[in-house]
Amino acid sequence: MAPGKGDLLSRERRLAQDGGERTGQEALDGNHRGEDSIEAVRLILASASPRRAELLRAAGIAFDVLAADVDESVLPGEAPEAHVRRLAGAKVDAVRPRAGERPVLGADTVVVVDAEILGKPRDRDDAVRMLRLLSGRTHLVMTGVALSGGADAQGSPPAPERPAPEVAVTTVEFARLTEGEIDWYVASGEPADKAGAYAVQGLASRFVTRIDGSYSNVVGLPVALVYKLCKRAGLLVS
């Protein structure tokens, strides 16, 4: 029996509420649905980051989530740019065997000050240390972005080799922070899972005095670079 108008409206509401993305096996199953065959290609996001998901959703780029589990440790002597390139590629490579012909997007973001890579803080003391380093000065935010080829808009199969990851760099300036401000911010819990121990889109926005480059890069994903890579790969994402 064909679905009634009420059924269709209910489904549209559900999609609007969750952005339409799926996770895990549901994401892969959804790729074989007839309805997807007439839609723009859906990326596989190799990340569980809610911030990256929000950025893609806001840009109207359809995606599903298959989080990659990779070791994000910095190798001895590894430069920041090489580090984010390597991890972005590693995340794609970890998920690609499960993605079929879907294009896979991987990204890794770090904060860099005095050539030191600041990832996610290990604990409260590490967050305090990072914020002291950032206080009253500029730093760099680097995100490596990798995109494996999927079947393009004409249905051609993906290339066997993954293109080399690219890197977006943004300069961010922080106001000088008092010890009281640092203690307050760390106590908020916001720094816990953020590279450099801050979220530019959150409470830390009050500390940021200047941004030179991509704002979305500082949040965790340079959306314009993602779109450029999709266009270069011949992927229809909107």
Q: What is the pLDDT of residues 113-159, one digit of tens each?
A: 999 999 999 999 999 999 999 999 999 999 999 999 764 445 555 55
Closest by CA to 131, choosing from 191, 189, 80, 171, is: 191
How many C-beta atoms lie closer than 10 Å to residue 131's C-beta?
25
Task: Give the C-alpha separation, 40 to 237, whole Å.
Answer: 5
Q: Is residue 43 part of a domain?
A: yes
Q: Is residue 228 part of a domain?
A: yes
> Annotated catalytic sites, by residue?
108
The answer for residues whose C-beta is within 8 angstroms of residue 113's C-beta and 6 or more apart is 133, 134, 137, 139, 140
- 201: pLDDT strictly greater than 60: yes
Q: What is the structure's pLDDT at 165?
A: 96
Q: What is the structure's pLDDT at 113?
A: 97
How many C-beta atoms lie closer than 10 Å to residue 62's C-beta?
17
Q: Is residue 237 part of a domain?
A: no
pLDDT digits (tens, 9 = 90+) for 81-106: 999 999 999 999 999 999 988 999 99
Assign 40 a pLDDT band (cuts: 50, 70, 90): confident
Q: What is the structure's pLDDT at 14?
A: 39
- 73: pLDDT strictly greater than 80: yes
Q: Is residue 238 part of a domain?
A: no
Dihedral, 118, 123, 126, 131 alpha carbons, nearest 10: 80
Locate tokens 């994903």: which residue?
221
- 209: pLDDT strictly greater than 50: yes
- 33: pLDDT strictly greater than 80: no
Q: What is the structure's pLDDT at 82?
A: 97
How many C-beta atoms lie closer than 10 Å to residue 155's C-beta?
8
Q: What is the structure's pLDDT at 12?
A: 36
Q: Is residue 14 part of a domain?
A: yes
Assign 10 a pLDDT band (cuts: 50, 70, 90): very low
| CATH number for the domain that contains residue 36 | 3.90.950.10
Structural domains counted in the chain: 1
Q: Is residue 99 part of a domain?
A: yes
Residue 23, strand partner residues: 65
Residue 32, strand partner residues: none
Q: Is residue 214 part of a domain?
A: yes
Task: Give the C-alpha separation, 121 to 198, whole Å.
Answer: 10
Domain range holding 179? 5-232
| DSSP string computed for 58-102 | HTT--EEE-------PPPTT--HHHHHHHHHHHHHHHHGGGSTTS
